[in-house]
Structure formats: structure tokens, C-alpha cells
Amino acid sequence: MINFFTTKNYLRIKSIILLYTLTIAYAMGGHFIMKRVSIFIDGNNFYHGLKYIYKDSKKFINFNFEKFCDFLANGNQIINIFYYNACLDKNENMNKYNSQQKFFKRLRKIPKFNLILCKLLKRKIKGKNEYYYVLKEDDIHMAVDMVEGACENRFDISILVSGDGDFVPAVKSAQKHNKIVENIYFKKSSSRSLKEICNKSIELTKDILDRFFDK
């Protein structure tokens, strides 16, 4: 069986699809207009969404975000990709920290990819000698970047990869500037209000996600 999702075949198929799209547009009198797309990914939400579906059967570092974002763009032009997360505490687990840094290095090689690092705060559990971590400011950065992009007309379509209902005001603001907002979400962490306010919503299922893991 031919593996169509090897890097070589993927680039070949991507070129064919683009050529086919332009050919159809020409045949229709040039009426096809490629939209400008900005993609905003809630990294922490995405990690836990994959973890819930795959448990330990897949490695997060093998998820191909370049292919995934091309899938989300659906033939349109990707202007930029924003991925929000924070560095792990290397004093807590050096192996996990190094693995994450390797993953971030891979992300930075993707064209038009912007890695936005936020704060990771360590907090003590009251009455116990135990700690937990809280990711801060990621939702603020995402909301501001999307609204600014809409106000400055940097994109036509905003693709929001998150299930956080706190983004509803930002979505409404972008739509007031005549922007289309699409919501990509995991069922476990989805917000009904966010899905309903967006122009389009897609649930990330195992059938969809399977194709984006490198072998």
C-alpha cells in the first residue's frame, strides 16, 4: 500500500491540489479568490486533547502541525500560524523539558509559524507539600492577536483551535470587522457558546487526527 502522507508524497499532492485549484479558477473566468488565513492554536488545550484521545499510544512530538494547518486552511493562503504555550519547569523534570524544547525547535522550522511563549506559574496546594502549575496569559495573547489582526485587515479567515468559551468576545470583535471565524475543537473541552458564535465549527476526531502523525 502506498503511504500518501510521507513528506515527499505530501508535497507532491499539495502542489497538485494548488495547480488544480488555479486551473479551475481560470476555467471559471478567474472568479476564485484565495482567502487569507490566520491560525491560532491553544497549545496546552491541544496537547491535552490529543492526550485524552491517544493516551500513550502516540507521541505528541510526531504530530505534523504543518500538514494539520494546511488541512485547516482548506486550499486558502496561510498568512501566519500562532501557537501559544509555555516552557516546562526544567527543575521539575529535565527530560520532559528537553523533549519539549526539541518539539519547539521543530515547530519553529514550519513556514510562517510563530511560537508564543507565555508564563507557567508554580503554586503550592494549601495544606500539602505539593505543587501544581498554571499556564497564564495564553488566552489574553490569543485574543489580542486575533482582534488586532482583524482590525488591521491581516486576514480574511481566523481559525481558532481551542474550546475555551472565553474567546467569544474576541470572536464577536473579529466578526464586526467582517472576518470569518472558524472554531476547531476537541469534544471533551468544547464550549457550546464558542461553537455557536463562530461561522463554522469542526470537531477534531481520531479519524481526522490519525492522518497527521508522522510514522
Residue 193 · residue 165 · CB < 8 Å: yes
Cα-based torsion angle of the residue sequence 66, 71, 77, 83 in order, rounded to the nearest 10 degrees: -50
The pLDDT value given to residue 1: 46
At residue 18, the pLDDT reads 55
Nine cell digits for residue 68: 494539520
How far CA 28 is from CA of 14, 18, 21, in Å, comes to 21, 16, 11
Would you say 183 and 195 are in contact if contact means Cβ atoms under 8 Å apart? yes
Say if residues 122 and 136 touch (Cβ distance below 8 Å).
no
CA 74 to chain CA centroid, nearest Å:
14
pLDDT at 121: 84
pLDDT at res. 16? 54
Interatomic CA distance for residues 68 and 213, integer angstroms? 9
Check residue 92 and give its pLDDT: 87
Averaged in consecutive runs of 10 residues, what is the pLDDT profile of the chain (215 residues)? 52 55 52 85 94 91 95 96 94 91 94 94 79 84 96 97 94 97 93 94 95 89
Helices (H) and strands (E) in the chain, counts: 8, 8
